[in-house]
Amino acid sequence: MTAPVTGGAPRCDRAAAPRCDLTAAWAALAGHYQAHGRELQLAEAFTRDARRFETLSFEAPEVFADLSKNLVDIATLRFFAALSDECALAARRDAMLAGDIANPTEGRAVLHTALRAPRGAAAPFNAEVHGVQGAMLAFADGVRARAAAGELTDIVNIGIGGSDLGPAMAVRALEAYRHPALRFHFVSNVDGHDIAPVLARLDARRTLFIVASKTFTTQETMANAAVARAWFTAAASAAPIADHFVGVTTNLAAAAAFGITHTFGFWDWVGGRYSLWGAIGLPIAIAIGSEAFRAFLAGAHAMDRHFAEAPFERNVPMLLGALDVWYRNFHRFTSRCVAPYHQGLARLPAYLQQLEMESNGKSVDLAGNALPFATSPVVWGEPGTNGQHAFFQMLHQGTDVVPVEFIAVRRAAHPYADLHAKLLANCLAQGQALMIGKTAEAAAAEKPPTAAAGIDRNVLARHRQFPGNRPSTTLVLDELTPRALGALIALYEHRVWTSGALWGINSFDQWGVELGKALAGELLPRLDASQPGARLGDTSGLDGSTAGLLRRLTRR
């Protein structure tokens, strides 16, 4: 067992958090929006400024970011630089990276960056981090050796939220690096339809279960782990549980009580949705091996340094965070679409939903005052080109403007060059179409499709026109390597911090998930006769709708 170290972070807040809307820079931004930003026409802006692409595209480690198709110009970014100064962004970033209590409502430091600092770096908890990391990576390589010898074929990660989404996303993204003799399964939902088909495919004696839970109390994970343990005992009665179950948690006592003796720990200063860099990343380390996992960490660390050192004007995570504030609070766009043009990034939008919406879906500032402005947008998406044949219609012609974030990868990890060229052509074309649109006049000049020949040309043109001027960002990676993926995820983490810091909120708690958990606990005995204190079908004290639904669901 690898023991974690708990607590120990300096309990001070060296950098106060002024709220963005109370600054002079915010008022200046509002003026800039009214005078200029609101009306900015992208196509015209490119005609006016032949160097717009060069001016508004930026290099970060492993990630090139083209911001030029956004409703900003260099003046907008300068106004945001002034806002970042007034909001003491640099000082607050430094305080967080140094281990101050950046999550005051849980009394915790926020140090996921320490998990990817190299051995010997002057980062908090460096020795403890590398102690666990070394043990975890040695274990991962041992599992890979057992797979190569035919002893293990399947890895099942049981966890939810941050204990599932990051590893599931990364293992899928790094498929090209996966150990060929291992299959990976991620069970998260308390819905038995999740675990049942997975168990049905497994050979118990060749399976390793990872029970991943920061708290080791999460209902879904504990319930699925109990199902897996019972299934394993029945299916492989003579095999020791200790050889087939490992735990990843800050709650070593609860893991031991569950019967898991082999455990990798982490710390309360690692938030669940920021935890894939440490022991929660065990499935990733098993999939790609210790060397590639170290490259994954190194990519994230390179992005950390960029975030910590680059001036705001060239700091890509900060610029993206500022853009999020611009769109949410000035343009009042309500959502952002993430469209990775790489099938390996299929789970990235789901991962980003937790990262961004659990972090910044808040409505009070750090002092508990109700916010007079909007915070987290809805983040959603699907890989391209699939999304083009589903929701892109709305993006191009719907009544809402949704900024789109394209992610393009220059080199593919497959041999089908023609497919990759088509993929990239589509990616570029979508950003172009969103921006340039098509006027009614241009649509009217087109030859109408035969089936629409009877419709008035001008009426048809109104259906076939595109408003254009719809913003998008394009992030470009050279290749989806472990290092590049690490950098990309760290970029998103710091971007979420930036918008949260400008809004003056706590991006690191998640009290909004508690009420539903508590109510589910109260409802369970009314739905399950085997629960202690069961009251099957009892609707007393419930609101009319919940009572009606309970009756419906429990009727014989």
Measured from the CB atom, the residue of 81 and 348 that comes closer to ligand F6P is 348
We find the least distance from the C-beta atom of residue 211 to ligand F6P, in angstroms, to be 9
Q: How many residues line the site for ligand F6P (CB under 6 A)?
A: 14
Measured from the CB atom, the residue of 278 and 471 that comes closer to ligand F6P is 278
Taking CB under 6 A as the rule, does residue 384 contact ligand F6P?
no
| Cα–Cα distance measured from residue 446 to residue 464, given in angstroms and rounded to the nearest whole number | 10
Asked if 188 and 228 count as a contact pair (C-beta separation under 8 A), the reply is: no
Strands 63-66 and 154-158, sheet pairing:
unpaired
Measured from the CB atom, the residue of 124 and 272 that comes closer to ligand F6P is 272
We find the least distance from the C-beta atom of residue 249 to ligand F6P, in angstroms, to be 8
We find the least distance from the C-beta atom of residue 272 to ligand F6P, in angstroms, to be 3
We find the least distance from the C-beta atom of residue 221 to ligand F6P, in angstroms, to be 5
| Cα–Cα distance measured from residue 418 to residue 434, given in angstroms and rounded to the nearest whole number | 24
10 Å CB burial of residue 320 (0-12, 13-18, 19+) is: buried
Of 66, 48, 49, 45, whose CA–CA distance to 57 is shortest? 66
Q: Which of 272, 317, 471, 482 binds ligand F6P (CB under 6 A)?
A: 272
Distance of CA 530 to the CA centre of its chain: 37
* Bridge partners of residue 475, in order along the sequence: 65, 407
The single residue of 36, 422, 463, 517 carrying the catalytic annotation is 517
Q: Kindly state the tokens that stand for 377.
A: 């947008």
Is 214 designated active site? no
Q: Which of 162, 167, 281, 471 binds ligand F6P (CB under 6 A)?
A: 162
Measured from the CB atom, the residue of 21 and 356 that comes closer to ligand F6P is 356
Taking CB under 6 A as the rule, does residue 270 contact ligand F6P?
no
Taking CB under 6 A as the rule, does residue 554 contact ligand F6P?
no
We find the least distance from the C-beta atom of residue 189 to ligand F6P, in angstroms, to be 12
For the window 347-376, what string marks contact with ligand F6P as x by the rule CB under 6 A?
-----------x------------------
We find the least distance from the C-beta atom of residue 128 to ligand F6P, in angstroms, to be 19
484-508 burial, b if ≥16 CB within 10 A, otherwise e? bbbbbbbbbbbbbbbbbbbbbbbbb
Taking CB under 6 A as the rule, does residue 221 contact ligand F6P?
yes
48-84 burial, b if ≥16 CB within 10 A, otherwise e? eeeebeeebbbebbbbbbbbbbbbbbeebbebbbbbb
10 Å CB burial of residue 135 (0-12, 13-18, 19+) is: middle
Taking CB under 6 A as the rule, does residue 470 contact ligand F6P?
no
Measured from the CB atom, the residue of 161 and 377 that comes closer to ligand F6P is 161
Taking CB under 6 A as the rule, does residue 163 contact ligand F6P?
yes
Residue 418's contacts (CB-CB under 8 Å, 6 or more residues apart) are none
Give me the amino acid identity at 503: W
Could you give phi then psi for residue 262, rounded to 5 degrees? -100, 105
Region of 120 please: left (phi>0), alpha (psi -120 to 50) or beta: left
Q: Which of 114, 160, 320, 488 binds ligand F6P (CB under 6 A)?
A: 160
Is 130 designated active site? no
We find the least distance from the C-beta atom of residue 499 to ligand F6P, in angstroms, to be 18
The residue whose two tokens read 């990817």 is: 116
Q: In what order do the strands lie in the sheet with 63-66?
A: 57-60, 63-66, 472-477, 404-409, 335-341, 378-381
3-state secondary structure of 433: helix
Is 389 designated active site? yes
Asked if 249 and 216 count as a contact pair (C-beta separation under 8 A), the reply is: yes
| Residue-level length of the chain | 556
Measured from the CB atom, the residue of 18 and 259 that comes closer to ligand F6P is 259
Q: Which of 126, 215, 465, 539 binds ligand F6P (CB under 6 A)?
A: 215
For the window 513-542, what string marks contact with ligand F6P as x by the rule CB under 6 A?
x-----------------------------
Measured from the CB atom, the residue of 218 and 481 that comes closer to ligand F6P is 218
We find the least distance from the C-beta atom of residue 2 to ligand F6P, in angstroms, to be 17
Q: Which of 2, 70, 498, 510 binds ligand F6P (CB under 6 A)?
A: 510
Taking CB under 6 A as the rule, does residue 265 contact ligand F6P?
no
The single residue of 220, 356, 358, 493 carrying the catalytic annotation is 358
We find the least distance from the C-beta atom of residue 188 to ligand F6P, in angstroms, to be 9
Region of 289 please: left (phi>0), alpha (psi -120 to 50) or beta: left
Measured from the CB atom, the residue of 84 and 163 that comes closer to ligand F6P is 163
Could you give phi then psi for residue 183, rounded to 5 degrees? -105, 145
| Cα–Cα distance measured from residue 233 to residue 226, given in angstroms and rounded to the nearest whole number | 11
The single residue of 36, 389, 422, 463 carrying the catalytic annotation is 389
For the window 195-214, what string marks contact with ligand F6P as x by the rule CB under 6 A?
------------------xx
Active site residues: 358, 389, 517
Point out which residues bind ligand F6P (CB under 6 A): 160-163, 213-215, 218, 221, 272-273, 358, 510, 513
